[in-house]
């Protein structure tokens, strides 16, 4: 590929990507276009625009992608009940394919030669971003500064910033940030720094959007979710867009200390990593979705979904959202959700989520006339169970007789 003339940079406005912006200008002698995605991370985005302008950027994209993020990425993932390694609700993982897609769209719009990101060479995000780039634009040039430059420490980054007049916020300048943090509408994650010791218990002050279960209200709060085709359409009877529904559940769950997680996970690149997460709304969503499926999905369909879920979750964690196999799995999952309609009622109390009711007026497979322990008036002939049991025991009886003869 020829000389790089224009690059679209995934830009947060923080120390790393601000240094990257200037480094790209100096190293490649190219024009840099910045792209900042608003996916509900909170905080003011105007400083990112101001800093980019100060560094000479002429084309600045700051896009509100909150509804698209929840509608087209979070909700489809939750239809599959996706959980990585039994616990992680994939809050960072699911944001990357959206950012990658929009970055490629901007690159096409401004006729850029390349795209760049600020992910390190040790983490998962480099894989997630770049698999997305190549799936959507197979001939795109990708620049990953952390794999090229010699700025391998925070001190070197700060020295570079000072040398080139890059504005640096107080905390970053003093080097007192004890960990790195990533936030969006689905979660907040914390890793690195003092958290790299897996025996270290995080201080209470670390958590941003949940109260500690010990300090949560002493009285439970109930919430009712309404589902249509596997997606939430109303919270406590109020119709809401996907992003607003998730924001409302974050607020409810956070108030009751729901959704804290501290795990050691296996990164795709091969190492183990300790991460702490807050996912209050997502924790509620997972519990509620499984509850509505329990009354609307066939037993074997549920079992098939549960068999496939770990693979689906690994695909997202490892960056394969745009792969053909994820699309095939999504088509299967979405087909199962046609009957996932109804309401779920839950109780939130001191870090816990308990389902207290579930019902589907149109699609429930729960038949109380058959399930009852009282007189079912012939709906179920209990004598049929004898033959069912004997047939299912046949292979074990044959094996037991053979063993006895030996």
pLDDT in tens, 127-181: 999 999 999 999 999 999 999 999 988 789 999 999 998 988 755 555 556 788 9
Count of domains forming the chain: 3
- What value does the mean pLDDT of the chain take? 95
pLDDT band at 187 (very low <50, low <70, confident <90, very high): very high
Kindly state whether residue 366 falls inside one of the protein's structural domains. no
Residues 28, 59, single domain; the answer is yes
SS3 (DSSP) at 187: coil
Flag whether pLDDT at 246 surpasses 70: yes
Residues serving a catalytic function are 16, 96, 125, 180
Rounded to an integer, what distance in angstroms lies between the CA atom of residue 284 and that of residue 74? 13
pLDDT score of 171? 52
Residue 212 within a domain: yes
* Residue 193 sits in the same domain as residue 145: no
Distances (CA, A) of 312 to 96, 193, 297, 307, 377: 16, 30, 19, 10, 44
Quick: pLDDT tens for 18-60.
999 999 999 999 999 999 999 999 887 888 999 999 999 999 9
Whether 22 and 151 share a structural domain: yes
* CA pair distance 155, 175, nearest whole angstrom: 8
Percent of the chain surpassing pLDDT 90: 90
313 inside domain: no
User: Max alpha carbon distance in the chain (Å)?
Assistant: 87
Answer yes or no: are the C-beta atoms of 351 and 260 closer than 8 Å.
yes
Q: By C-alpha distance, which of 253, 260, 90, 58 is closest to 186? A: 90
pLDDT in the model for residue 170: 56
In this structure, the answer to whether residues 10 and 143 fall within a common structural domain is: yes
Q: Are residues 115 and 200 in the same domain?
A: no
H or E, element range at 355: strand 352-359
Residue that is last in its domain, among 177, 202, 231: 177
pLDDT number for residue 153: 82
- Looking at the domain assignment, is residue 324 inside a domain? no
Residues whose CB falls within 8 Å of the CB of residue 55, separated by 6 or more in sequence, listed in order: 18, 21, 22, 25, 166
Q: In what order do the strands lie in the sheet with 342-349?
A: 238-239, 231-235, 221-228, 342-349, 352-359
279: domain CATH number is 3.90.1260.10
Mean pLDDT of all residues in 294-317: 98
What is the average per-residue pLDDT within 325-349?
A: 98
Burial class (CB in 10 A: 0-12, 13-18, 19+), 215: exposed
Residue range 92-115: mean pLDDT, rounded? 98
Question: Are 127 and 271 found together in one domain?
Answer: no
This prediction has a pTM of 0.95
- Considering 142, 177, 212, which residue would you say is the last residue of a domain? 177
Instruction: Give me the pLDDT at residue 177, please.
Output: 63
- Confirm whether 310 is domain-assigned: no
Backbone φ, ψ for residue 386 (5° rounding): -65, -50
What is the per-residue pLDDT for 168?
Answer: 81
Partners of 141 in the β-ladder: 114
Confidence at residue 46, expressed as pLDDT on a 0 to 100 scale: 87
Asked if 38 and 143 sit in the same domain, the reply is yes
The answer to whether residue 322 is domain-embedded is no
* Structure confidence at residue 149 (pLDDT): 96
In a domain, 150, yes or no: yes
Residues 250 and 219 placed together within one structural domain of the fold: yes
Q: What CATH code is carried by the domain that includes residue 141?
A: 3.40.50.620
Contact of 234 with 225, CB cutoff 8 Å: yes
Length of the chain: 406
- Residue 140's domain comprises 6-65+93-177
- Which of the listed residues 145, 177, 209 is the one where a domain comes to its end? 177
pLDDT category at 279 given cuts 50, 70, 90 is: very high
Asked if 263 and 144 sit in the same domain, the reply is no
Residues 171 and 242 reside in one and the same domain: no
Q: Is 364 a domain residue?
A: no
Answer whether 8's CB lies under 8 Å from 33's CB. Answer: yes
Residue 83: pLDDT band with limits 50, 70, 90: very high
pLDDT value of residue 167: 83
Q: Of 208, 352, 386, whose CA–CA distance to 283 is shortest?
A: 352
Domain identity same for 20 and 169: yes
Asked if residue 354 and residue 381 are part of one domain, the reply reads no
Mean pLDDT, rounded, for 390-399: 96
The answer for 29, left when phi > 0, alpha when psi is -120 to 50, beta otherwise, is left
The predicted structure's pLDDT at residue 42: 86
């Amino acid at each position: 590929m020829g000389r790089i003339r224009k690059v679209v940079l995934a830009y947060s406005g923080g120390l790393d990507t601000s240094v990257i912006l200037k480094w790209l200008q100096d190293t490649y002698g190219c024009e840099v276009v910045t792209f900042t995605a608003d996916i509900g991370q909170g905080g003011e985005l105007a400083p990112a625009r101001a800093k980019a302008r100060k560094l000479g950027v002429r084309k600045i994209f700051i896009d509100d992608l909150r509804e698209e993020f929840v509608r087209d990425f979070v909700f489809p993932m939750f239809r599959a009940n996706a959980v990585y390694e039994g616990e992680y609700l994939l809050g960072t993982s699911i944001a990357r394919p959206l950012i990658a897609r929009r970055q490629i769209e901007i690159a096409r719009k401004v006729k850029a030669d390349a795209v760049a990101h600020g992910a390190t060479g040790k983490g998962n995000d480099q894989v997630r971003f770049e698999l997305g780039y190549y799936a959507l634009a197979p001939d795109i040039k990708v620049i990953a500064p952390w794999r090229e430059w010699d700025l391998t420490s925070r001190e070197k980054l700060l020295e570079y910033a000072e040398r080139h007049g890059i504005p640096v916020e107080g905390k970053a300048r003093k080097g007192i940030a004890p960990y790195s943090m990533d936030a969006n509408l689905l979660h907040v994650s914390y890793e690195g720094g003092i958290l790299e010791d897996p025996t270290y218990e995080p201080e209470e002050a670390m958590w941003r959007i949940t109260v500690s279960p010990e300090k949560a209200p002493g009285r439970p709060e109930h919430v009712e979710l309404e589902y249509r085709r596997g997606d939430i359409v109303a919270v406590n009877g109020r119709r809401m867009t996907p992003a607003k529904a998730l924001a409302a559940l974050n607020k409810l769950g956070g108030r009751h200390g729901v959704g804290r997680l501290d795990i050691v996970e296996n990164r795709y690149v091969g190492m183990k990593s300790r991460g702490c997460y807050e996912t209050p709304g997502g924790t509620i969503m997972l519990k509620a979705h499984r509850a509505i499926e329990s009354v609307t999905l066939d037993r074997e369909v549920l079992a098939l979904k549960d068999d496939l879920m770990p693979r689906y979750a690994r695909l997202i964690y490892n960056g394969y959202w745009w792969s053909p196999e994820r699309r095939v799995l999504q088509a299967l999952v979405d087909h199962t959700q046609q009957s996932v309609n109804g309401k779920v009622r839950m109780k939130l109390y001191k870090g816990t989520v308990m389902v207290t009711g579930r019902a589907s007026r149109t699609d429930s497979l729960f038949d109380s006339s058959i399930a009852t322990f009282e007189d079912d008036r012939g709906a179920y002939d209990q004598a049929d169970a004898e033959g069912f049991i004997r047939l299912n025991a046949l292979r074990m009886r044959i094996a037991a007789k053979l063993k006895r003869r030996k």
